[in-house]
Amino acid sequence: MSQALTRYSALFDSVRSRRRKSDVPKGLDVLAARAGMLVESRRVTLGWLRAQAEAVEALSGEIRNHSEAALDQVISETREAFVRGRHDAAVVRRGLAIVREVARRCTGEEAYPVQVMAALALYHGRIVEMLTGEGKTLTGSIAAPLIAWRRRHLHVFTVNDYLARRDAQSREPIYRRCLLRVGAIQQEMGPHERFEVYARAIVYGTPKQITADWLRDLIRMGAHSSAWTGRQSLIAMGEAGGGPMIPGLQAALVDEADAVLIDEGVVPLIIARARRTDDMAEVYRRAATIAASLDEGPDYTIDHLRKKAELKERGRYRCEQLFAQAEEPIWRARRRAEELIRQALIARHCYLKGHQYQIVDGRIVIVDEYTGRLLPDRNWEHGLHQAVEAKERVEVTADRETMARMSFQRFFRSYPFLCGMTGTAADATGEMQTVYNRPVIRVPTHRPMIREQWPTRVFRRGEAKWNAVAAAVEEEHAKGRPVLVGTRSIEASEHLSEKLAARGLAHRVLNANFDREEAELISDAGRGGPNASIVVATNMAGRGTDIKPDEAAIAAGGLHVILTEMHGAKRIDRQFIGRSGRQGDPGSAQIFLSLDDELVRLHVRGVAAVMRRAGTGEELSGAARAAATKLFRFAQRESEARARRGRAGVMKQDHWIDKHLPGM
């Protein structure tokens, strides 16, 4: 009986979450929403947090002296208070002090006041900016019990499966002591296991896993859009299985919140199946052949920025001639046929091996733009993937049919409670507020940060830049400092690797092609001294990697980070640079740019070309350099704005459908 009740309540919660569709404000409502946000963000200020943290500190003295049994007693009482909805400021302070003490007894880690402040900010639904190495794990684990007590189910999102499993295990004693069950969702888990894990109070997992499970729930429960119709299906299915896997979305705590919520916010998670009948392979191959026979310029133009191809009159005419020779009927439908050609042209010019994808075992595998990792189970949509396959002359797979699709943006907006931690949230404050209605707060570091930012160097040509980078690596290496070099693409990392090898520098490369060595490589990356480590890495080394410089390295000046290109968003640059100077360690960072970098080439092509031609010498100096850095920053802002617009557009479309059509 009680199990049936649990399942019914899970169903009810699931339906309720599914129907939660937050409004996108329009017109004057935007102003009202902004005003509301301003009020909301004034509610929790640093000063207030500090005062609360001091109060918690004061409570700690008393709780520290509790016996184990007495501690259990107060835990149970406080939990009771939260569950019954009595969670005023005093109860929250007390709860925090208790959990802090529990954490101290279970793991021996005592939370610093700044961590208590951050935990409190999380409890109040803030996106908290904490620098790398400031103990995000501990902060999360003292905030999580309070949130779980109050909101029943908490999903904690981590960057990868390994971290989910590790954190769930290492924090388990704390949570158990707090009368909460914890579990971690792993890629290889079967449905029954997942069912069981989701029923627990705190669930660790990657956004991808949990979103996918939520989507599967949606597909399974699709027809039952109300608890009433769902109940009948529950009865029909009997006791075995059935019902939703995730008992509703109650609360989310997101690690690396800006990466998940902003950068990957609109990358759709798709559950797809191959189409049953598909004889399109020949069509895609022919499209690739035709595209290869056209000439850029007279026949078509390519807009690299928007990833668009435009056929000109001559190209149209030539296509028509070629279509006439093809036998498949699709070439008779002119618009569709031209669309295929345009797609083939885009695949040819805008999707490059080593940048957007790699070929692994004769298959096209997408490389994630933000993390530099391979995404083996992701495909481009609407035939683009096939067009790329046809271009690379690998086997053309069947086009896939989308069953369900959801962006993280949409998924996380379904949570009534959302909070997060990240090293770089401040740059995305505006979007966090407008899209997720969550204010951002910046918590100070425990120890002052002493990383040095060396002046940016700008070169006219890419080649000169790479030589200068290699020289700089050599110089720092000679001092006995570990060096981490960041590149934007796999291709670039390999190019630099050759340069370094030519100089006889022992180094290691971390990119999607060599991701298996990641853990070992990172643990070694902090090595200093005469044998100091040199690592050339794509963005893979950007997030979640904690490089600890050893004593020799610290003595030599800590980790030196070189960034060889600016990314599309400032946050990603900051993330990468943030690898050095953690927890008050010494460190330094420097950016190397060239005027033919992709960023300026796409966004401010004309100005960059003029600057490249004006003046002499390989490297820019003085006012020219200042102007160039401004230009790069401008291009970066353009790119950020473009990405933001794209995300806003997706949100609007989603909202339109929610409003105008029934269903999920």
Partner 1 sequence: MASERPTFSPLWHRVRALKPRLRPHVQITRQHYRGRRWHVAHDPASNQFYRLSPVGYEFVGLLDGRRTVEEVWSISLGNHGDGAPTQQEVIELLGQMYSSNLLAIDSTPETEQLLSRGRDRLKRRMAQQAIGLMYFRLRLFNPDRILTWLEPIFRPLLNRWGFLLWLAWVGYGLYAVVPHLDELQAMFKTSMAPANLIWLSVIFIIIKAIHETGHGVICKRFGGQVPEFGAMLLVLVPAPYVDASSAWSFASKWQRIAVGAGGMIFELAIAAAAVHIFASAPDTLTKQLAFNAIFTASISTIFFNANPLMRFDGYYILSDLLEVPNLMNRSTRMLQHLAQKYIYRCENLRPPTTNPTERWILIVYGTLAVAYRVFLFITITLYVLGQFFAVGLVLAVWSAAAWFLIPLGKFVHWLAAGPQLAEHRIRAIATTLALAAGAWLCLGVVRAPDHRRAPGVVESRASAGVYFGAPGRVVAVHKRVGDRVRAGDVIVTCESPAVEYGIAMTRAELAEVQVQERMYTAGNPAAAQVARSIIEAKSETLRTLLDLQSKLEVRAPQDGVLVPGAAGRDPGEFAGVHVQRGQLLCEVVDPDRVRIAATMPTSHAQPLIELPPGAYTVEMRSVSMPYDVVRGGGVRIVEAGRRTIPHAALGFQGGGTVEIDPQDQRGLATKSSEFTVYIDDLVKDGRAWRSVPGERVTVRFTLPSKPLLAQWWHRVEKLLQARTDI
Footprint of partner 1 on this chain (CB under 8 A)?
19, 222-223, 225-226, 229, 268, 306, 332-336, 339, 381-383, 402-405, 642, 645, 649, 653-654, 656-657, 659-664
Q: 514 or 634, CB closer to partner 1?
A: 634
Closest of 389, 411, 100, 466 to residue 270, by C-alpha: 411
Distance of closest approach, residue 471 Cβ to partner 1, in angstroms: 38
Distance of closest approach, residue 405 Cβ to partner 1, in angstroms: 5
What CA–CA distances, in Å, run from 42 to 38, 49, 329, 493, 528?
Answer: 6, 12, 63, 45, 45
Please list the residues that pair with 363 across neighbouring strands. Answer: 360
Q: 167 or 369, CB closer to partner 1?
A: 369
Q: Which ranges of 65-183 does DSSP label H, i.e. alpha helix? A: 68-83, 89-107, 113-123, 136-151, 161-177
Q: 35 or 478, CB closer to partner 1?
A: 35
Q: 407 or 493, CB closer to partner 1?
A: 407
Q: 165 or 642, CB closer to partner 1?
A: 642
- Are 595 and 612 within 8 A, CB to CB? yes
Cα(260)–Cα(243) distance, integer angstroms: 28
Distance of closest approach, residue 208 Cβ to partner 1, in angstroms: 18
Distance of closest approach, residue 571 Cβ to partner 1, in angstroms: 21
Q: 229 or 321, CB closer to partner 1?
A: 229
Distance of closest approach, residue 210 Cβ to partner 1, in angstroms: 20
Q: 43 or 645, CB closer to partner 1?
A: 645
Distance of closest approach, residue 605 Cβ to partner 1, in angstroms: 13
Q: 382 or 461, CB closer to partner 1?
A: 382
Distance of closest approach, residue 230 Cβ to partner 1, in angstroms: 11
Q: Give every CB contact of residue 622 below 8 A, 6+ residues apart in sequence.
A: none
Distance of closest approach, residue 382 Cβ to partner 1, in angstroms: 4
Cα(390)–Cα(396) distance, integer angstroms: 6
Q: Is 632 exposed, middle or buried (0-12, 13-18, 19+ CB in 10 A)?
A: buried
Q: Give every CB contact of residue 271 below 8 A, 6+ residues apart in sequence.
A: 212, 215, 216, 219, 402, 403, 404, 405
Distance of closest approach, residue 281 Cβ to partner 1, in angstroms: 18
Cα(75)–Cα(463) distance, integer angstroms: 63
Please list the residues that pair with 608 across neighbouring strands. Answer: none
Report DSSP state, residue 258.
Answer: I
Distance of closest approach, residue 268 Cβ to partner 1, in angstroms: 7
Q: 71 or 221, CB closer to partner 1?
A: 221
Closest of 635, 647, 557, 650 to residue 593, by C-alpha: 635
The distance in angstroms from the start CA to the end CA of the chain is 30
Give me the residue label for tokens 């030599």.
Answer: 556
| Token pair for 219 | 């597909």
Distance of closest approach, residue 644 Cβ to partner 1, in angstroms: 11
Q: 381 or 596, CB closer to partner 1?
A: 381
- Are 250 and 416 within 8 A, CB to CB? yes
Distance of closest approach, residue 332 Cβ to partner 1, in angstroms: 7
Cα(431)–Cα(42) distance, integer angstroms: 18
Q: 199 or 403, CB closer to partner 1?
A: 403
3-state helix, strand, coil in the chain (%, to 5): 55, 15, 30
Q: 1 or 661, CB closer to partner 1?
A: 661
Cα(186)–Cα(209) distance, integer angstroms: 8
Q: 385 or 488, CB closer to partner 1?
A: 385
Strand-pair category, 202-205 with 154-157: parallel
Distance of closest approach, residue 602 Cβ to partner 1, in angstroms: 12
Distance of closest approach, residue 623 Cβ to partner 1, in angstroms: 24
Q: 43 or 332, CB closer to partner 1?
A: 332
Cα(311)–Cα(298) distance, integer angstroms: 9
Cα(542)–Cα(259) distance, integer angstroms: 11
Give strand ranges (E) for 368-502: 374-375, 400-407, 417-422, 440-442, 450-453, 457-459, 483-486
